[in-house]
Amino acid sequence: MYKVIVSSRGQVVIPSKLRKGLNIKEGDVLSVDIEGGSRLVFRVNRKDRSKKGVVAQTAGLLSDMEMSGLEYVESIRKGSGRRLDGFENC
pLDDT, residue 47, reads 61
Where does the pLDDT of residue 13 fall: very low under 50, low under 70, confident under 90, or very high at 90 and above? very high
- The H or E element containing residue 35 is strand 29-35
Closest CA to 31 of 17, 18, 47: 47
Predicted pLDDT at 69: 77
> Could you read off the pLDDT of 28-71 as tens digits, one per residue?
889 999 999 999 999 988 765 555 677 777 777 767 778 787 88
Report percent pLDDT > 90 for the chain: 34
Residue 34 has what pLDDT?
95
3-state secondary structure of 64: coil
